[in-house]
Structure 1
């Protein structure tokens, strides 16, 4: 279930560790509302097509699956820095577009698609600061959006999905079921392509070309990717407390504090870890990991029994070159 928790963005030590070890940052939290039922359905499809296979206790991509992946572009997700917040951005954009469309047609009363209170408050404040009823602003906003939609990283499917999901004057955005039927695909596929499209446009927003759209992305990116609990541990570490002392202060297990340190190390590559493991031992761990093409802790520890599992995890979290 590790991949399930990865897609949902579970903020556990194990999931953060997996993200770091296998460089999966872009996929973290790209589907926060994924259900186990949806996950099992998609997994069963991969089995059915023989694209994945069981190997001991692990799942791996089969030769047939590898062949299927040839020619596919690497998805352009940015999950680690967005954490599902792209939906907030979309809510703001959708409500602004719906509002401008109605006012352009001299209709000030309409039922907004967006029900989120905070989105409503943000958009109200955003529009009050602009002459949103004027043709000049409406045309400028449209031009900025069109410019962004023409970004070369977006595929035609991305553009179509974004446009079809928008609502306006006497026009309702298509539902996921309608889109899935139109594309002869699954709802899950549609949602993931939509999220990728949002990640692409958010990553490529800039003040020069999209000044008004950029304002809609306010506070969307996560500036400190640490969980709140890990952040508290980091603050105590900087004050000179040991892991045992922090565990006592916070009434947590030492193992939990160690998980926090793994998380901190994975996001702060310049952090000194010499109080916990020497540079020489880091080098040895990474050499063995590279030589054996594995990140399994037991295999590495069999070669380095003098090191603890925590030290090995810490070395792997650094992703330093050897």
Structure 2
């Protein structure tokens, strides 16, 4: 049910502006300029990267199911719009869909590391307390293992106190969730002589799909991180776990490099030459920067009378499709300028200008 709710919610905002593949790229966290622009344009930042290893065939199968059920309808090739029945389904099931748990743009990377560090720490400390050092780690991530090994040297003399802190902080965090969600989370943990249940086992027990189990757990991690960030004094141990990786990555690394040169007053031509990239790639970077920089100097790239013309066309069509807007503006206005104005418009609308 949760997977369906996420796809239908994304479809509600995107409509037929993009193909279904765009939703897949958002949910799976594709690191492309187009996807970053899409999550901003269609206000889907919360769902970015919430299921990084989602198999494409699983996604495609779900799209087809929703189409056959009449909740989605293919309007153009691979472009689906939510139907009246789909909207009614969302309204009917909204109370059972914890969509507000997600904050993918901010937490997708942090949540993964938080989960693995916490899981391995609990397994390590509970086994160490019982003098069992021959256990098999449930987390197979070399960087996480190194982190735990490094900090365990300091932790081992305070095992009892630290385990008590973990217990109390987790208990406090889990109060923000339903009983079933809390049970799902706890049953996934591994301790001394007690291995956590697999995704398959949890799906069978709670009569859920594997995809929904993973999405519920991901949403819980995002919500936990929100409370940890807001109440660091109450979650000192949890804050320690993520202290070195708690950050917000708003733009891609490549765009950030272009941003560095722009701040040095380099021209597009100069940046392309320095970086050995095509002009269009630099244009993509500039559009991405404009999405997140409220002080972006739009007039340097698009004269004000062109900005007004582009916005007039956008308001008349209510569409982000570049081709549709291009047909209504002066011929010498480029696609790059249209994209740039639409990107900057998001910031202008949010600031109330």
TM-score by length of 1: 0.92
Relative to total residues, which structure has the larger helix share, 1 or 2? 2
**1:261-272 map, 5 Å:** 261-272=286-297
- Farther off after superposition, 162-171 or 297-306: 297-306
Q: Which residue of 2 aligns with 1:110?
A: 135
* Structure 2: gaps (5+ residues): 1-20
* Structure 1: gaps (5+ residues): none
Q: Which residue of 1 aligns with 2:267?
A: 242
Instruction: Please tell me whether the aligned partners of residues 26 and 79 of structure 1 are also in contact (alpha carbons under 8 angstroms).
Output: yes
- Farther off after superposition, 191-200 or 53-62: 53-62
Q: Which residue of 1 aligns with 2:87?
A: 66
1:194 is matched with which residue: 187, 210, 217? 217
Distance in 2, Cα, partners of 1:259 & 1:149: 42
How far does residue 200 in structure 1 lie from its aligned partner after superposition? 0.7
- Describe the SS at the equivalent of 1:75: helix
In the alignment, is residue 139 of structure 1 matched against residue 201 of structure 2? no
Q: Which residue of 1 aligns with 2:18?
A: none
**1:122-271 map, 5 Å:** 122-130=147-155, 133-151=158-176, 154-205=177-228, 206-271=231-296
Q: How many residues align?
A: 320
Instruction: Please tell me whether the aligned partners of residues 290 and 340 of structure 2 are also in contact (alpha carbons under 8 angstroms).
Output: yes
Distance in 1, Cα, partners of 2:207 & 2:140: 29
Distance in 1, Cα, partners of 2:159 & 2:258: 51
- Farther off after superposition, 95-104 or 215-224: 215-224
Structure 2 vs 1, CA of residues 56 and 41 (structure 1 numbering), >3 Å: closer, same or farther?
A: closer
1:13 is matched with which residue: 28, 33, 55? 33
Q: Which residue of 2 aligns with 1:24?
A: 44
Residues 269-313 of structure 1 show CA distances to partners (whole Å, capped at 9, x for unaligned) of: 222222111345434433432342211112212221242111111
Distance in 2, Cα, partners of 1:134 & 1:10: 40
- Farther off after superposition, 142-151 or 61-70: 142-151
Residues 59-110 of structure 1 show CA distances to partners (whole Å, capped at 9, x for unaligned) of: 1111111001115154321111234331211110001111222234443432
Distance in 1, Cα, partners of 2:209 & 2:245: 28
1:298 is matched with which residue: 323, 329, 332? 323
Structure 2 vs 1, CA of residues 135 and 42 (structure 1 numbering), >3 Å: closer, same or farther?
A: same
- Describe the SS at the equivalent of 2:234: coil
- Describe the SS at the equivalent of 1:241: coil
Residues 220-256 of structure 1 show CA distances to partners (whole Å, capped at 9, x for unaligned) of: 3343432221111111111111112211222211111
Q: Which residue of 2 aligns with 1:98?
A: 123
